[in-house]
Structure 1
Amino acid sequence: MKKIGFLSFGHWTPSSQSNARSAADVLLQSIELAEAVEALGADGAYFRVHHFARQLSSPFPLLSAVAARTKRIEIGTGVIDMRYENPLYMAEEAGAADLISGGRLQLGISRGSPEQVIEGWRYFGYTPAEGETDTEMARRHTEVFLEALRGEGFAEPNPQPMFPNPPGLLRLEPFSAGLRERIWWGASTNATAIWAAQQGMHLQSSTLKVDETGEPFHVQQAAQIRAYRAAWKTAGHRFEPRVSVSRSIFPLIDRRDHMWFGNSAQDSDSVGYLDAQTRAIFGRSYAAEPETLIKQLAQDEAIAQADTLLLTVPNQLGVEYNAHVVEAILTHIAPALGWR
């Protein structure tokens, strides 16, 4: 059994070919798609975060709006770049969104990927400490964030406050109990996945991974998941780990599917470079008739090991079409593979 949700990058472009031509379009359509997939019986609505781009960026207003308009599905991110974040303010925002949702927030965070501008976090006021890399700064922000989510008091109260204080040191408010156990880390290497397990964060593994062995993407990703689960067991956390993988999957059911994706299946992995030194492997996409898709997906070792599958959706094709894609997978693919 698997939880199945969608992951939207929230692209928008002022083009007549796009159904999302403005930031307002993509925000409102994201809420509508979350409502639609909840009605279909899907399990989650997740959103990517990119800065300085015509994509979704500030996640908490959107997550709160989705929370207010839905009742059952998980809501989350995949991922928030912690290089850009004030971890204490973020803890307040996350707590508020989680309370609005009734405890459905599944927050994916990470060091982030290459962005639109050079060292964009500097424009947000964040600079690595002397001798610190931007990756280490992201982890430092993360550790502060995780500690704040524990809900322990740490701030010295004013002896003459405007309003009465509870006794002792003060914590951030609003505090949402249980949110600390619903934080995910997006890992592109085995070592980072192991670190996430040690920190007590769930694992998000996408369609991109540092190429560490030269093996097919799904084989490397499955090995990463096994390393993560082993590290979690060693760490001895008191709650169960979760693992999500994301995939582009398009069952060819009707004329629209064939028009958009009938000739676009990426039948094999691809390789590229994130920078001059970092070779990355990108997982294939899937587009075929349901019978063929079932056979192909049954061979994906990483999907088999994950408990959550996030379907990357082409949001610019509109709410109705993307709901159709999710419904096709829930109806024609998931039952045959034992996901439902």
Structure 2
Amino acid sequence: MKRIGFLSFGHWTPSAASRTRTASDALTQSIELAVAAEELGADGAYFRVHHFARQLASPFPLLAAVGARTSRIEIGTAVIDMRYENPLYMAEDAGAADLIAGGRLQLGISRGSPEQVVDGYRYFGHLPPTGESDADMARERAERLLELLRGEGFAEPSPRPMFPNPPGLLRLEPHSEGLRDRIWWGSATNATAQWAARLGMNLQSSTLKFDESGKPFHVQQAEQIQAFRDAWAEAGHEREPRVSVSRSIFALTDDRDRLYFGRSDEDRDQIGMIDEQTRAIFGRSYAAEPDVLVEQLRADEAVAAADTLLLTVPNQLGVDYNAHVLESILEHVAPALGWR
């Protein structure tokens, strides 16, 4: 069995070809797709966070709204860029959204990726301490968030409070019990996957990874997953970790599918440079008739190793079409692979 959800970047553009033309469209359609996915039997509704872009950006209002409209499906991010975040305010927002959703939040966080502007976190007032990088800052803020989500008191109460306080040091409120175990780290390297494991975070691995060996993408990703699980076992955590991978997968079942994806030119791994020093490998997309798709996915070592698969969806094609994409995978592909 495997959990299957969708991952939306929430793109919007005023183009006449888009069914998602405004920020309002992107937000309301995200909620509608989560509702439809739950009705179809999918397991997760996940959203990417990008700043300074015509995409989803501020996650917690959206997560709370999805939580209020659904009852079963997991609700998450993949990922929130911690370079932009105040861990204390984030802990409050996350606690509130998780309580609204009844404990269904699955928060993916990360050090971030190249953005639309240069050092965009600086415009938010966040600067790395002297001698540290923006990646160091992101990881330190992630560790601080994990501490806060334990729910332990740390703030000295006022001797003359406006309202009565409980005894002892105060914690942030609202606190949602169990959210600490539902934090995921979006990792692009083996080393950061191991770091996340030692801290007790789950692992999210996307369609991009630093090219650390020259091997095919899915092999490198499977090795990353194994490195994560080995580090988790060595750390001695009591619970079982979770691992998700993201893929673009389209079952060609009707003329719309063939029109949009029948001639995909992304059926092999791609190599690119994230910056001047970093070579990355980008995983292939899958688009084929269901029986062919089953055999292709059966050979993907990382998909096999993960317990959760996030299907990246072309959100600008509209809610109805994306619900069809999910339904096709759930009905025509997942059962043949033993995922359902």
What's the TM-score once normalised by structure 2's chain length? Answer: 1.00
- Alignment partner, residue 190 of structure 1: 190
Which amino acid in the other structure matches residue 3 of structure 1?
R
Q: 2:92 is matched with which residue?
A: 92
Question: Match for 2:238: what amino acid?
Answer: R
**Structure 1 unaligned runs (5+)?**
none
Identity score, percent = 75
Secondary structure of the residue that 2:164 maps to in structure 1? coil
Deviations 1:218-267 (A, max 9, x none): 00000000000000000011211000000000000001001100111522
Q: How does 1:259-298 map to 2 (within 5 A)?
A: 259-298=259-298
Equivalence for 1:206: 206
In structure 1, C-alpha distance between the alignment counterparts of 2:278 and 2:339, rounded to whole Å: 34
Match of 2:175 in 1: 175
**Counterparts of 1:238 and 1:69 in 2: how far apart (Å)?**
33
Between the aligned partners of 1:6 and 1:239, the Cα distance in structure 2 is 25
Task: Give the equivalent residue in structure 1 for 2:310.
Answer: 310
Equivalent position of 1:44 in the other structure: 44
* 1:150-203 Cα distance to aligned partner (Å, 9 max, x none): 000000000000000000000000000000000000000000000000010000
CA distance in 1, matches of 2:182, 2:141: 17
Query: Which whole-Å CA distance do the structure 2 matches of 1:174 and 1:239 have between them?
Result: 24
Which letter maps to 2:32? E
Tell me how far 1:131 sits from its aligned partner: 0.4
Q: Which residue of the partner structure matches residue 113 of structure 1? A: 113
Structure 2 SS opposite 1:203: strand
Cα distance in structure 1, aligned partners of 2:111 and 2:325: 30
The equivalent of 1:162 in structure 2 is 162
Q: Distance in 1 between matches of 2:191 and 2:143?
A: 17
Q: Displacement of 1:99 after TM fit?
A: 0.3
Q: How many Å separate the matches in 2 of 1:140 and 1:315?
A: 33
What is the distance in 1 between the residues matched to 2:13 and 2:90? 28
Contact 1:265 1:286 in 2 (8 A): no
Q: Deviations over 1:1-54 (max 9, x none)?
A: 100000000000001100000000000000000000100000000000000000
In structure 2, what residue type is equivalent to 1:85?
A: E
Q: Secondary structure at the match of 1:181?
A: helix
What residue identity is the alignment partner of 2:221? Q
Kindly provide the amino acid, as one letter, of the partner of residue 108 in structure 1: G
Q: Is 1:246 the counterpart of 2:246 in the alignment?
A: yes
Task: Tell me the equivalent position of 2:134.
Answer: 134
How does 1:65-76 map onto structure 2 within 5 Å?
65-76=65-76
Tell me if the contact between 1:68 and 1:101 (Cα under 8 Å) persists in the aligned partners: yes
- How many positions carry a matched residue from both structures? 340
Contact 1:251 1:329 in 2 (8 A): yes
SS at match of 2:184: strand
In the alignment, the residues of structure 2 paired with residue 40 and residue 59 of structure 1 have an alpha-carbon distance, to the nearest angstrom, of 23
> 4+ residue runs of structure 1 moved beyond 3 angstroms?
none
**Correspondence for 2:24:** 24
1:56 aligns to what SS in structure 2? coil
Question: What is the alpha-carbon distance in structure 2 between the residues aligned to residue 298 and residue 143 of structure 1?
Answer: 36
Residue by residue over 1:293-314, the C-alpha shift from the partner in whole angstroms, topping out at 9 and shown as x without a partner, is 0010000000000000000000
Q: Mapping of 1:213-232 within 5 angstroms?
A: 213-232=213-232
1:60 maps to: 60
Residue 29 of structure 1: SS of its match in structure 2? helix
* Superposed CA RMSD: 0.5
Distance 1:115 1:94 in 2: 23
- Structure 2: any 5+ residue segments left out of the alignment? none
The AA in structure 2 aligned to 1:209 is: K
* TM-score (norm. length: structure 1): 1.00
* Counterpart code for 2:123: Y
The alignment partner of 2:263 has SS state of: coil
C-alpha separation between the residues in 1 aligned to 2:45 and 2:282? 23
Query: Are residue 7 (structure 1) and residue 1 (structure 2) matched?
Result: no
SS in 2 for 1:45: strand
Q: Distance between the aligned counterparts of 1:19 and 1:199, measured in 2? A: 41
SS for the counterpart of 1:161 is coil
